[in-house]
Amino acid sequence: MTMRTLGGVPEGCRERLIAHYGPKVQDWLDTVPSVLGQVAERWNLSLEGYHDAGHASVIATATDPDERPLLLKAWADPARYRHEIRALRLWAGGMTVDVMETADDHAVALLELVGGRPGGSDWRQRETQMVAGALHGLHIRGRAESLTISLPLLSDYLRFEVLPRIEKRVLSLDLGQWAPLVEDEFHALATLKEDPERSTVLHGDLYRENVPFDRNGHPRLLDPVPMVGDAAFDWAFWTVYYDLGRETKQRLATAARISRIPVPVIAPWCRLLSLDGLLYYVDTGDPRAPQMTEVLSFLSARGAGGYA
């Protein structure tokens, strides 16, 4: 039986997107069921239901006439849609999720369902090494296109978003016992600089849930927030956030070995991201703040790599 209508967007997804984009996104959320129905009819799909896994978008599962499982993804921000599709097409060929169809008029895409189910397969052998190899492959391909592809710049993201919010929170939050650590890291930020020789197309959002494995045991990176900038940023993000508080040291060592970017170069980017994360967790009352403090303390210790 073909189904081309879904009910309203799940409440958790609505709340998350409203928190991210503000109240203005509510009208868009109300139109999503109708939009998904239109593109399902356009591409002859049967809708199965929503899949809510913390994304900054609305995702639904679907099947085509051959019963192949697929994902429909709808973006609230057309610019984010364009950037993500542009990067996924640049990286196409087995390292990322495949883009099957796009509807530019609705900022909706039909995507491969990695592993045949949301979250991918359970086959994650040699996970750290496999994901590092996939990320390195993305960077190699992105390096050749970084001067021509139209994407946001890491330098702008740092200058206009990350550094201002760090400064604002350092000055306004009651950091208690963490204040000395935060102040030391904040003052060290001034020496952090990108290296143009490492410029590539970055994934920018390397959480573990964004790296499902296919049925052959290969990682397939999805949900990028692509930018052009220093590859060390991606390696640092993966080191810190892929599995927060677990195997940080191992990932840092693997990142340096695979990328051939020395630990003392990657570590300052790790510290930047850890500081930003810690301040966010403190500001929002997130229980992961102590966990992030341990990560930042490790990265700040002698031997983890200081600011160059």
Q: Is the pLDDT of residue 303 over 70?
A: no
Q: What is the pTM of this model?
A: 0.94
Q: How confident is the model at residue 147, as a pLDDT?
A: 80
* Contact in structure between 151 and 201 (CB atoms under 8 Å): yes
Task: Estimate the share of the chain in helix, then strand, then coil, as percent rounded to the nearest 5.
Answer: 55, 15, 35
3-state secondary structure 13-60: HHHHHHHHHCHHHHHHHHHHHHHHHHHHHHCCCEEEEECCCCCCCEEE
**pLDDT tens digits, one per residue of 10-66:** 999 999 999 999 999 999 999 999 999 999 999 999 999 999 877 789 999 999 999
β-pair type (69-74, 99-103):
unpaired
Percentage of the residues of the chain whose pLDDT score is greater than 70: 96
Q: Is the pLDDT of residue 98 over 70?
A: yes
* Contact in structure between 244 and 292 (CB atoms under 8 Å): yes
Closest CA to 259 of 135, 93, 142: 135
β-pair type (99-103, 108-112):
antiparallel
Mean pLDDT of the chain: 93
Q: Is the pLDDT of residue 289 over 90?
A: yes
Q: How confident is the model at residue 308, as a pLDDT?
A: 39
Q: Which fold has domain 127-304?
A: Aminoglycoside 3'-phosphotransferase; Chain: A, domain 2 (3.90.1200)
CATH of 11-112, one of 3.40.50.2300, 3.20.20.120, 2.160.20.60, 3.30.200.20: 3.30.200.20
Q: How confident is the model at residue 112, as a pLDDT?
A: 94
Cross-strand pairs, 74: 58, 108
What is the CB neighbour count within 10 angstroms for residue 12?
11
Q: What is the domain partition of the chain in residue ranges? A: 11-112, 127-304
Q: How confident is the model at residue 3, as a pLDDT?
A: 64
Q: Is the pLDDT of residue 199 over 70?
A: yes
**pLDDT tens digits, one per residue of 19-31:** 999 999 999 999 9
